Structure 1
């Protein structure tokens, strides 16, 4: 396994200073018979988000440098790809290149199933192994068991991400709330909103956001060794230990106190975000992938962000990865497209659109809010504070956590019972791996 501590400092530098390899403009010609070649591309980034803007520009650059080739882009939902990837990639409907979630339970599982192309040779040939720091490469490599951090390259990350607290500055000012710098100040702020009849946190229990709050609460009692044990199987995890017990108890308590709405158990991520954009909630806890969209769509109030107060660890990692399905019919074109997304032109656009680039020119990032975003990411990476995501350890674990956190929010099961239920599939996966 890669030692994350030794690479963390390098990640902060790599996020802004490393240069990208050039795009593969190899004079592609139309296929035999004069028919144009088609690159079938799937991703799930919104058009107004930073990655959506960057990948749209990458498509234009790809087509201009590859005469006779067109890109057939199909937008897919995160949940759609999450639930159907194994089935689709094992069929003739597989795309040539696809954005996919990184981690043991997702990219690792597909690599173990033989559904992804081994990119190790291309990583060396095209310089991706030099471009990406060791810490970023953690989510690109998977061993024979599908465990991230070592083995062959099965994906290429091209941006960074982390979970933060977004806040509505106007609602904070209206309610006399200042930006908290400690966890006690944070809970005091939540309490002040709740007592004023305002539900403070916009979240989504039906998808990933609520489980990120659950994980942040666990991380407030955790250290790096605990994260390595939980995510990388370097030790045993006690689901009734102080970390998860505190998370489950506190989340249930926050619902009772009105910090989180009980009906948020059925809310999806998109509805969570649109509610925040509409000014209905003072706080939203989620990832940097919303940042660019908020820059574009929030017009009626001032907003900002801060790291979860008091924590030494936060959910985050490299961003989602480009994978090339084993059944891809245009692998050479897929590799060229990855090169283009790594080019300075596209990375600079990503950075100035509210994303966290891995190969931009630092001087080229001129947008003030984008600088704030990247600065906070660098604070996390420079101190080895990225703790991945809670659903990564085991196949199917995403749905397990969704159900568990929903039970905490709607109160249908007590915290101890929820912890029993999320422990079982994790323990079963360890047994399957021979751990």
Structure 2
């Protein structure tokens, strides 16, 4: 704001202006009023790479936000997914909390923080700004959490502005060299991988030290699953048999894939980035992972033609809304955080997201021009229309991500049988079910 320290101002005017400034700079408990008078800073964290679709769209959103908010600067800090995953609870309870950040959705993450009182209730803003109209009921599942921290109902504690799902990325040139067609069934998929193994090529890029391997196990489990099983596992709507046909098939088949050479044994120590770089470099002809890689494939794959297809034979796939914008309860600039979320939900940023290789939730379909990007969005819409978004395997319980990582590493290393690994997955899940009264 302007400097009011001129000696010519009368005492009355000065007093009036002081009241105005006090009103502008006052903050309600929790910082929702907007901090002190003068230049302000919106502290923003997210973990999307600059060359990803989300990173590109949000960079534009930052520019638009600063242009529409004179005197406000966005202080953006890129954080690693694992970094936020492991430290969010501690950081958000301190004075180091950002004003707005990207956070993983689900019971184990956003749900847990909401239950701990670390996130701002966004319900009033969602209604006021129309976010509840822009997001379909299925996409709202991950935005809302009840008093137990279970997603699907209750208050809004986050806002997703994109969708995501797990698919199969493939090297078209490598497929052509081996005479492999795009598979439409799981049997055709395994037959294709057999061809690569016989040619001396490990078919699947894999990261066992982070999320990728557990998502493959989940995809296999989903090939035997129906919606009631997913709702039981994710939403605690019924007891889950960890030795039932779904998870048994997922764990035993994945272990068998390692034995058959579809997955390299050293992948137990590889991270998601290692997996992605391996595929991008042409080392592996197939990568099973999420749409969040799509933008990087578009910009970084230089030496071969590539494409994607839905997991063969499945009606359901790991997928959901994208990660959430959350506003920490200790945010000092909640009003600015709400404005920034609103900008990311606008048509121009949503169209940018779609054209950069993301899956927008509120774009103009006619504005998406690239054929590959259209296919990406159409496949997501297909899954969504057939009730095929099955969330992610690490969501149900706090700390379950690390449990899943340890389990799949044991499957890759062969240090425990699938039956024993399923016992290890069952324990923490059942403890959490008891804790929430199920």
Partner of 2:135: 132
Matched, 1:202 2:205: yes
Which residue among 76, 79, 98 is the counterpart of 2:79? 76
Which residue among 156, 160, 173 is the counterpart of 2:159? 156
The separation in 1 between residues aligned to 2:183 and 2:108, in whole angstroms, is: 34
Which residue among 171, 175, 186 is the counterpart of 1:172? 175
Partner of 2:422: 419
For residue 340 of structure 1, report the CA deviation from its aligned partner: 0.3
SS in 1 for 2:147: coil
Matched, 1:142 2:145: yes
Which residue among 180, 192, 197 is the counterpart of 1:189? 192
Name the Cα RMSD after superposition.
1.1
Matched, 1:304 2:307: yes
Which residue among 332, 352, 355 is the counterpart of 1:352? 355
The separation in 1 between residues aligned to 2:83 and 2:228, in whole angstroms, is: 34
TM-score by length of 2: 0.92
Contact 2:42-2:99 within 8 A present in 1 as well: yes
Partner of 2:20: none
For residue 116 of structure 1, report the CA deviation from its aligned partner: 0.1
For residue 135 of structure 1, report the CA deviation from its aligned partner: 1.0
SS in 2 for 1:72: strand
Partner of 1:246: 249
The separation in 1 between residues aligned to 2:54 and 2:128, in whole angstroms, is: 25
Partner of 2:296: 293
What does residue range 77-116 of structure 1 map to in structure 2 within 5 Å?
77-116=80-119
SS in 2 for 1:95: coil
Matched, 1:280 2:283: yes
Partner of 1:408: 411
The separation in 2 between residues aligned to 1:200 and 1:389, in whole angstroms, is: 23
Partner of 2:10: none
SS in 2 for 1:294: helix
The separation in 1 between residues aligned to 2:266 and 2:70, in whole angstroms, is: 52
For residue 176 of structure 1, report the CA deviation from its aligned partner: 1.5
For residue 178 of structure 1, report the CA deviation from its aligned partner: 1.2
Partner of 2:11: none
For residue 33 of structure 1, report the CA deviation from its aligned partner: 6.1
Contact 2:35-2:333 within 8 A present in 1 as well: no
The separation in 2 between residues aligned to 1:150 and 1:434, in whole angstroms, is: 17
The separation in 1 between residues aligned to 2:254 and 2:143, in whole angstroms, is: 32
For residue 31 of structure 1, report the CA deviation from its aligned partner: 6.9
Matched, 1:220 2:223: yes
Give a deviation string over 1:157-215, Cα, whole Å, max 9, x none.
10000000000001111112111111110000011111111000001000000000000
The separation in 2 between residues aligned to 1:76 and 1:145, in whole angstroms, is: 28
TM-score by length of 1: 0.92
Matched, 1:47 2:42: no
The separation in 2 between residues aligned to 1:311 and 1:118, in whole angstroms, is: 36
Partner of 1:3: none
What does residue range 230-245 of structure 1 map to in structure 2 within 5 Å?
230-245=233-248
How many aligned positions are there? 407
The separation in 2 between residues aligned to 1:247 and 1:129, in whole angstroms, is: 36
The separation in 1 between residues aligned to 2:216 and 2:391, in whole angstroms, is: 13
SS in 1 for 2:57: helix
Structure 1: 5+ residue stretches without partners: 1-27
The separation in 1 between residues aligned to 2:381 and 2:128, in whole angstroms, is: 29
Computing the radius of gyration over CA atoms, which structure comes out larger, 1 or 2?
A: 2
Partner of 2:335: 332
The separation in 2 between residues aligned to 1:65 and 1:33, in whole angstroms, is: 18
Higher RCO (CA 8 Å, separation ≥ 6 residues): 1
For residue 32 of structure 1, report the CA deviation from its aligned partner: 5.0
